[in-house]
Structure formats: structure tokens, C-alpha cells
Amino acid sequence: MTISHPEFGGVSNRFVTDDVGYNPEGNQAAATQSRAFRHLRHDGVMHLLTTGNYYGRPGTTNWIAFLARYQSGDITARYGVEVTPSTQDLPADRFFIGKLSGAGVVWGLAASNGAAATSSVVATNNETALLVAELIHDADNTSARLWVNPMITPAPPAPDALLNNIPAIIFDKMAMVAQKQGGTVPIISLDELRFGETWESVTTGIPEPAMFVLVLLALPATRRR
């Protein structure tokens, strides 16, 4: 699937820098952040969309994968990838994949209601990690699963983190973010951001984390395909 933003008039490999920051606690208090976003295209994927043209239709699944690495700075900060509806782009509407804010130093997931699940894989050791997330949209139980540095097999292995019974994940916008409430954002690296309908679509051909050098994300961010 390709991604674009109306500002570019069609398909683009670039992100739009977002100057507005919010803290991750569900309100609108200002926070220091580096955030760059883009909108997900709808062409050819109407079976995945709600009547409002958002991803998150009950009975469907979305997959997200990316490479990430902490470089330097505050290890209590939040950094990774989030999805959100463009009409209500506030923390109360965002689903997050990456290093959660606070004292924890591992990769994890965070729902819009504050529910979180973490892996056992350290996110602050200057090592590149491959993160793969599955968003499962069900009318009775929206859930999400996370793999960190998984073996790339035909079928996914057991996940490293799991969230059940969370608020519906409705989105059409994806953002790369580094955020610190009341402080300076860390320097991190994000690359190979992928969005698809299956495990295979987001993991096929992705570089091995230990063999890949990432580009820095500090202020304005771009994506390489």
C-alpha cells in the first residue's frame, strides 16, 4: 500500500512535519516532540475501510512494521510510530507502537485509553530493532499484538506483547514521533516503515536489524521506500 498527503498532490515518499506536540497522558497539554505524519491511501483497499473511510473496519486486520533504534538523549521519552484519525488527532485517539514514556526501557504498545503492554526487549541499548504490530479489529474485542526482532517465517511466531479489549483503533494517518513531556526529545532512528494487510506484506525483504544502518529522526523526518 502506498501513502500520500493532499499537499503533495498524489503518491509521495515524504512525511509532513507536525509542529504541534501533546503529552501522552490523554490530554492537550503541550509537550516537546518531533513528529512527522502522512495519510494512508484508500485506493484498492475499500474492504478494509469503515463507512467513514477510516481503517479499522470490524473483521479486518492491519499490519505495521518498521526498524527503530535509540541513539542518544532522555531514555524516559516516548518514541516510535502511532496511528490516528486525521479529524481528531489528539492523544485520546492515538494508538502507539514503540518505546513507551516513563521509566520503562522496553518496546511495547499503548492504546488510546492508556492501556499498555510491553515486551522484554530493551529499547534504549543503541541496537536496531525490527518491530511488527498487528491490529485486529473486532466488534466485540479490538486487540493488538507486537513482535520485536521476530524470525521471518511464513506464519508469525508467538507475539512478545498483547493488548486485548481496547478501544477501537480507527485511523487514516500514520506518524513517526519522538516525544518528551517537559524536556528535550531524544535522537532516534526510524526507517523501513511498512503498512499492509498481512504479516508477509510487511516483513518480506525487510533488512535484518543487525545489518542495517538507520537514518536519524531528530526534527523533520522523511521516509525511504
Task: Give domain status of residue 120, yes or no.
Answer: yes
**17-42 in b/e burial notation, b at 16+ Cβ within 10 A?**
ebeebbbbeeeeeebbbbbbbbbbbe
Look at residue 160 and tell me if it is in a domain. yes
Q: Number of structural domains, the chain?
A: 1
Name the residue type at position 160.
Answer: D
Q: What is the CATH number of the domain that holds 172?
A: 2.60.120
Domain that holds residue 9: 3-206
Q: For residue 30, is it within any domain?
A: yes
d(CA 108, CA 161): 7
Read out DSSP for 18-31? E-----TTSS----
Indicate if the pLDDT at residue 216 is higher than 50.
Answer: no
pLDDT band (50, 70, 90) for residue 36: confident
Residue 218 lies in a domain: no
For the four alpha carbons of 200, 203, 205 and 208, in that order, the dihedral sign comes to negative
Whether 219 is covered by a domain: the verdict is: no
Mean of per-residue pLDDT scores for the chain: 80
Identify whether 221 is part of a domain. Answer: no
Q: How far apart are CA 207 and CA 27, in angstroms?
A: 37
In the predicted structure, residue 158 carries a pLDDT above the cut 90 = yes
The pLDDT confidence band at residue 35, using thresholds 50, 70 and 90, is confident
